[in-house]
Chain A
Amino acid sequence: MKEKLVLVGNGMAGVRTLEELLKLAPDAYDITVFGAEPYGNYNRILLSPVLAGEKTVADIILNEESWYHEHGITLHKGKAVVRIDRRYRVVTAEDGTEARYDRLLLATGSRPVILPIPGHDLSGVIGFRDIRDVEAMLSAAQVYRHAVVIGGGLLGLEAANGLKKRGMRVTVVHLLDTLMERQLDKPAAALLQRALEESGLEFRMEAQTEAILGDNRVEAVRCKDGTEIPADLVVMAVGIRPNIELAKAAGIYCERGIVVNDTLQTYDPRVYAVGECVQHRGQLFGLVAPLFEQAKVCANHLAGFGIARYEGSMTSTKLKVTGIDLFSAGEFQGGAGYEELLFQDPARGIYKKLTVKDNRVKGAVLYGDTVDGSWYFQLMREGADISAFRENILFGQAHLGDSGHGSENRAALLPDSAEVCGCNGVCKKTIVDAIVHKKLFTLDEVRAHTKASASCGSCTGLVEQILQSTLGSDYSVSPKKKPLCKCTEHTHDEVRAAIRERGLKSIPEVFHSLDWKTPDGCHQCRPAINFYLLCAWPGEYRDDPQSRFINERVHANIQKDGTYSVVPRIWGGVTTPAELRAIADVAEKYQVPTVKITGGQRIDLLGVKKEDLPRIWADLNRAGLVSGHAYGKSLRTVKTCVGKEWCRFGTQDSTTMGIDLEKMTWGSWTPAKVKMAVSGCPRNCAEATIKDLGVVAVDSGWEIHVGGNGGVKVRATDFLCKVETDEEVKEYVAAYLQLYREEAHYLERTAHWIERVGLAYVKKRLVEDPAGRHALRDRFLESQRSAQVDPWAERAQGAERHEFEPVRRLEQNDYARCA
């Protein structure tokens, strides 16, 4: 007999919880849903575009009745629940419909606050909460002329904008002198007010509504100063209040909302609550992103996994008024101990403010140019140290170097045909259509459906921007705590810590100890954990080839046609006629279709059949050539210039240094690929300042630069320090690589890692702590003892033969024989 789950409240938070639950445990419950409104679940945040005529009610329905049917859910729509009997575990609706429960989920949402002023109960005075309110506004707009919106917050302005678009003359009455004061500071609010005034809205600021006048239907609104504003329709948008009467009457503990713990459980352990009706750690909720995070956690507990915790959300806001770009997040008002970074360009209508504390972004207000909103929000969530780029931060991420999208900074104004994702050829319209028609809410969903930003990721900011401008105010980028993959709630850092602290020595042990949701993980978590184990237990952990991407399993790069490429190591980019002859010989012998010089001073043999790989490697080995690891999350190349041996400007022997560094570091597995370079003088012909680690010779020694990247997003290195001797260079390089190996997330390049943890942190560990640096270097060299084995030689001698040969070759006569 299945347990019974009853959901009270057929809105976004409750139904999202059911969706998450069905993903985890589709058969755990018999589910019954009560909804007071006569519709299936719809997207409440898109009511504003419906009002403005940009969408229809049908566009915003999220779950049709067929959805409930398909999942065997009993839906009682249009039936408000009036009583919960906790003793007998029964809920009763106003028409007498009853349902028994084993678990009850309350998602009763909130109600608009109606000010108790004289005339508030006149006909034509409404809130802005549901489809019925929108219908009332639309029918008023057809017959009447004057509308007053009380409240100049997010919802009030969206209502005002919609009514104006429907042809009404709209006045917004606001108590304070700043519009959207919970999201905007004064200068941004002034820009917004000016833009809205230009579009035709009228404002009464610092005005208190005293009474609503009229006999039967509203006729005017009177302010405290005695002025009267004609009104045929009054929309009260002064705030929302959690809908807790039902819970309260049932004796469930409530304060301002229904009080829940980090598992979304109320004081009655059989009763859970999510959404705008709850109060969690003293906080109430009015935006959609936190509701979705709650839904995920609540579903996890309803499914009996019992591992997720909701620890609050960080939210950002955007106004859904076409043509207006604004973004707000965090503690944007600042205060004692906060610094303010400001950018103002009145002529272009652009205003940006960041609040910063201890070199960390705490809040943001952007008006007119919001493309960097998601970037600032990410810096905020991660608590990233911005000291290395704070002088440029207000100019945006593009200004730090971006090859693709530097000039596109206003997603709302992009034409439909604009190509947003250059890798996968996805234009803006495709993304918008997918968001609207497939009801997408998150970046991950847009990636899954359209592939936009799913490859190199350089257009991620732009895609998030389009998501925001399509969905509007309540979209939030992503959860504060990002799980490693869909198989777990744990983050990269938590998994690494558990491996160390609990002494976990194999992938199954990690899965078991951390309650993995899948039996053997997925293509994202297995390679990550394999690396983390390898890094934590060097020499002891036995690598799991089945958890490696094919390139690292067969030590060559898979190509689009299923053939492979072979890149022998050429130490420091210095080779000999004999080596070149050996490479030429194998290229001819195995009829290699393409021979190409790589960007890292190596030679790439492309189009090799997999079965030929071990024999090619054997031939190359005989000439002294070994694997170049051009296929791995590992040390790729050390690029060098000729240095003082030949160059008239050279100050040090950069080629020898490059060769020495490559001999020291080859074979090391790293979170992502690592490229290094050594230049013999500050002219920097080896382009060391866009490498993961760059060494630049100066007359008095060597400069060490870190965290550069020449790929998707160009990032110049940060200067780490200057040293005098060759030995010191090697010490720093080994320590730096080990710090990166031990602390970066899998697949995180050094550039992103340093942006996340901050250059100051890396300097503290490497420059300011000599003992710590020596220890890191020692750990690196220790792990290299078991890592520096040529994988080509092993396989040329027959190891892993099954990887390279078919298990069976069927010829025509095999069939005949069987037949």
Chain B
Amino acid sequence: MHAVREEETLKQWIPIARIDEIPRQGARVVTTATGNIAVFRSIDDRVFALLDRCPHKGGPLSQGIVHGRRVTCPLHNWVIELESGQAVAPDEGCARRFEVRVEEGMIAIALPAHEA
């Protein structure tokens, strides 16, 4: 958590929700002035955050089926890696990723300070 101090000065950790507010194998949306962020919870309770736009045609990833560490976009079935935001090959593209931490059941995501 303390490894990249330099970056931490450039971003803000913003508390979002308790982990039990996100369904397992599901996602919820955080609205922001610069677009929606999808917050995912995998079956083993890992939490991930991506910009809620599929790199293919902008589909809302938060509405997809979550399986393993992946989500399938509801529009055209592109599969996106939750950890990296990368599309699974042979599709190519990347959804923007946000850092997440969970402390005592509270989820926080890191937003770049300049977006504040």
Contact = CB atoms under 8 A, between A and B. Distances in A.
Contact of A807 (B29, B32, B75): B29
Nearest to B107: A807
B116 interface: yes
B28 A549 contact: no
* Residue among B63, B64, B77 facing the most chain A CB atoms (10 A cut-off): B63
B74 A818 contact: no
Interface string A290-326: 0000000000000000000000000000000000000
Interface string B57-69: 1111001111110
Nearest to A455: B76
A527 B75 CA distance: 16
Interface stretch (A517-525, A619-627, A734-742, A788-796): A517-525
Contact of B39 (A548, A807, A809, A819): A807
B22 interface: yes
A564 to B, nearest CB: 10
A545 B25 CA distance: 10
A146 interface: no
Contact of B14 (A438, A549, A814): A814
A328 to B, nearest CB: 32
Contacts of B30: 806-810
Contacts of A809: 30-31
A592 B79 CA distance: 31
B16 interface: yes
B16 A807 contact: yes
A491 B17 CA distance: 41
A290 B104 CA distance: 54
Nearest to A563: B60
Interface string A175-201: 000000000000000000000000000
B74 A550 contact: yes
B74 to A, nearest CB: 5
Interface string B39-68: 100011000000000000111100111111
B43 A519 contact: yes
Contacts of B58: 562
Interface in A536-556: 545-551, 554
Contact of B32 (A438, A522, A810): A810
For the complex, would chain A's binding face be called helix, strand, loop or mixed by DSSP majority? mixed
A522 B113 CA distance: 36
A66 interface: no
A818 B12 contact: yes
Nearest to A525: B67
Interface residues on A, range: 35 or more
Contacts of A345: none
A16 to B, nearest CB: 18
Interface in A544-587: 545-551, 554, 558, 560, 562
A250 interface: no
Contact of B25 (A518, A546, A807, A816): A546
A311 to B, nearest CB: 29
A36 to B, nearest CB: 32
Contact of B67 (A522, A551, A812, A818): A522
Interface string B1-41: 00000000000111011000111111011111100100100
A647 B69 CA distance: 59
B57 to A, nearest CB: 7
Contacts of B67: 518, 520-523, 526
Contact of B65 (A438, A546, A560): A546
B83 to A, nearest CB: 15
B72 interface: yes
A815 B12 contact: yes
Given A520-B25, A818-B13, A811 B33 contact: yes
B25 A802 contact: no
Contact of B66 (A518, A546, A551): A546
B115 interface: yes
Given A560-B57, A814-B14, A807 B74 contact: no
A549 B90 contact: no
A733 to B, nearest CB: 32
A551 B111 CA distance: 31
A815 B113 CA distance: 8
B64 A523 contact: yes
Given A807-B17, A807-B39, A819-B116, A802 B23 contact: yes
A436 to B, nearest CB: 15
A717 B21 CA distance: 48
A411 B42 CA distance: 45
A806 B28 contact: yes
Nearest to B60: A562
Contacts of B25: 520, 546-547
Interface in A761-819: 802, 806-812, 814-816, 818-819
Contacts of A549: 65, 74
Contacts of B44: 519
A526 B65 contact: yes
A706 B28 CA distance: 42
Given A807-B16, A808-B16, A808-B17, A547 B31 contact: no
Contacts of B75: 558, 560
Contacts of B22: 807
B3 to A, nearest CB: 21
A560 B60 CA distance: 9
A449 interface: yes
A449 B90 CA distance: 6
Contacts of B17: 807-808
A558 B36 CA distance: 17
Contacts of A547: 25, 65
Nearest to B89: A448
Given A448-B90, A546-B24, A815-B111, A558 B63 contact: yes
* Residue among A523, A526, A812, A819 facing the most chain B CB atoms (10 A cut-off): A523
A523 B16 contact: no
Contacts of B65: 522-523, 526-527, 546-550
Interface string A340-372: 000000000000000000000000000000000
Interface string A445-475: 0001100000000000000000000000000
B13 to A, nearest CB: 7
A173 to B, nearest CB: 46
Contacts of A550: 63-65, 74
A529 to B, nearest CB: 12
Interface string B89-106: 011000000000000000
* Residue among A521, A554, A810 facing the most chain B CB atoms (10 A cut-off): A810
5 pairs of A and B residues whose beta carbons are closest in the complex: A815-B116, A807-B28, A523-B72, A546-B25, A523-B65
Given A546-B23, A809-B30, 13 more contacts: A448-B90, A519-B68, A520-B43, A546-B66, A548-B65, A558-B74, A806-B29, A808-B17, A808-B31, A810-B30, A810-B31, A810-B32, A815-B14
10 contacts: A554-B63, A558-B74, A802-B21, A806-B31, A807-B30, A807-B39, A808-B30, A815-B14, A815-B111, A818-B13
Interface of A: 438, 448-449, 518-523, 526-527, 545-551, 554, 558, 560, 562, 802, 806-812, 814-816, 818-819
